[in-house]
Structure 1
Amino acid sequence: MTTGAPPPLKPARPRRSRVLRFLPLGLVAWLVLEIWLLTVVAGASSGLTVFLLLVGGLVLGSFVIKRAGRRAFKNLSEALRQQQQGLAPAQDQGGGSALTMLGGLLLIMPGLISDALGLLLLVPPLQKVLSRSAERAFDRKLRAAAASAPGGLGDAFQQARMHHPDGKVVQGEVIREDQPPARPGGYPDDPQLPR
């Protein structure tokens, strides 16, 4: 005998985007290309040259990351100091700390392609272009997520309050009456005569 409740359904798995589907294949192809390029350079010059290139990338990347971290910490300290003094925060001067750190990380990674990409990320005009395009893409995604959501964050909190500890959801509406409805006689306690 059934209780009338439908059996629980498995939640649908969200579809993976094409980027996430092919990301592992892309990483493997990139690693193979890096190794192949290192062997080509080693064959054209010597193994010592490749070793010096890799060590140079490691040292330069460490220096870049350390410098970008110091700049980010200095900017954070300055912003906190201005906030404590009640001053308006200074406009961002386009330091590009995140892109600089990413460039340093790519320099640290062994490989010539990653070194070239890391050096490109250290060029200030390119940082500005990438920063603007990333900001626009982030805003677009944020607007799309807000538009597709049935409600806002307040609705999510309201819905969370309707769940009981046993997992059941109570659908309903709360009507609050602070005062009893006014009667035609003018006074709430005035007795009404039948008509």
Structure 2
Amino acid sequence: MTTGSTPPPTAPRRSRARTFIPLAIAAWAVLEIWLLTVVADAAGGFTVLLLLVAGIVLGAAVMKRAGRRAFRNLTETLQQMPGQPGAAAAGQTEPPGSRGNGFLMLGGLLLMIPGVISDVAGLALLVPPVRSSLGRYAERSLERRMRAATPGSLSDAFQQARIHRPDGKVVQGEVIRQDGAQPGSRPDEGPRPPLTP
């Protein structure tokens, strides 16, 4: 046995999200069940059953409406592309209410999930000012993260991703052959042009 050899590889650290998200989901499920029992004690079991069925029906209707709006917006966008028959003039603005389908679908999904907290959150997402403010916040947050993640261009990010090895080590550099032949070329072929990203 030799001393001074490389230490054994350590297991990667578990991220906080992988630790806390399962705990948060379990706590949310317990809280939902407890609130349903409180409502059942106060108003009766039949009332809770009616609330759950109404949430499922309303959530399905909201998701169906949002899906139709999203499909209609996609169809209109594809028809307005240049070169398509019946393309509208350039500079046409989006119709009001054409954005926010994602949050509308999320609201419908939250209404369909049985529980009081999910129903309240789903009903809140049905309010247009709440949806628009959440959409603006999500858009700003995404732009901020994209700027922080890619200080250079998108091709720089792909280049950086390509040079990382699976073990986490970064190998940078280039191969220069002394005999003038291109790397990977055979002696019977002429030099190949370099690959560009």
- The reply to whether TM is greater than 0.5 is yes
CA deviations on 1:51-101 (whole Å, 9 max, x unpaired) are: 000000000000000000000000000010011227437444343100000
TM-score, normalised to structure 2, is 0.70
Whole-angstrom CA distance in 1 between matches of 2:23 and 2:157:
40
The residue aligned with 1:35 is 33
Percent identity over the alignment?
49
**Structure 1 pair 80–14 and aligned structure 2 pair: CA distance change class (3 A):** farther
Partner of 1:46: 44
Is contact 1:79-1:90 (8 Å) kept? no
* From 85, 88, 91, the counterpart of 2:90: 88
| Residues 8/174 of structure 1: CA separation in 2 closer, same or farther (3 Å cut) | farther
CA displacement 1:113-165 (0-9 Å, x = unmatched)? 10000000010001111000000100011011002x7x74256359859x9xx
CA distance in 1, matches of 2:108, 2:161: 45
Q: 1:156 aligns with which of 155, 158, 172?
A: 158
- Specify the alignment match of 2:19 in structure 1: 21
Larger gyration radius, structure 1 or structure 2: 1
| Distance (Å, rounded) in 2 between the aligned partners of 1:35 and 1:55 | 16
Aligned partner of 2:122 in structure 1 is: 118
Between the two proteins, the alignment pairs up a number of residues equal to 163
**Partner residue in 2 for 1:186:** none
Q: Which AA in structure 2 matches 1:42?
A: A
Which one-letter code corresponds to 1:54 in the other structure?
L
Q: In 2, Cα distance between the equivalents of 1:157 and 1:143?
A: 17
1:11 Cα deviation from its structure 2 partner: 8.3
Distance 1:133 1:139 in 2: 10
Cα distance, 1:50–1:160 mapped onto 2, change above 3 Å: closer
With structure 1 as the length reference, what TM-score do the two structures score?
0.71
Residues 45-194 of structure 1 aligned to structure 2 (within 5 Å): 45-83=43-81, 84=84, 85=87, 87-88=89-90, 90-92=92-94, 93-94=96-97, 95-147=99-151, 152-154=154-156, 156-157=158-159, 160=162, 171-172=173-174
Q: Structure 2 counterpart of 1:57, which letter?
A: G
In structure 2, the CA distance between the partners of 1:142 and 1:118, relative to structure 1 (3 Å rule), is same
Structure 1: gaps (5+ residues):
1-5, 164-168, 176-195
Is the alpha carbon distance of 1:158 and 1:68 closer, same or farther for their aligned partners in structure 2, counting shifts above 3 Å?
Answer: closer
Closer, same or farther in 2 for the Cα pair 1:116/1:159, shift >3 Å? closer
Let me know the Cα RMSD of the aligned residues: 3.2
Q: 1:152 to 1:66 in 2, by over 3 A?
A: closer
Equivalent residues of 2:80, 2:88 under 8 A apart: yes
Runs of 5+ consecutive residues of structure 2 not aligned to the other structure: 166-170, 178-197
Residues 50, 154 of structure 1: CA spacing in aligned structure 2 closer, same or farther, 3 A cutoff?
same
For 2:12, give the aligned amino acid. R
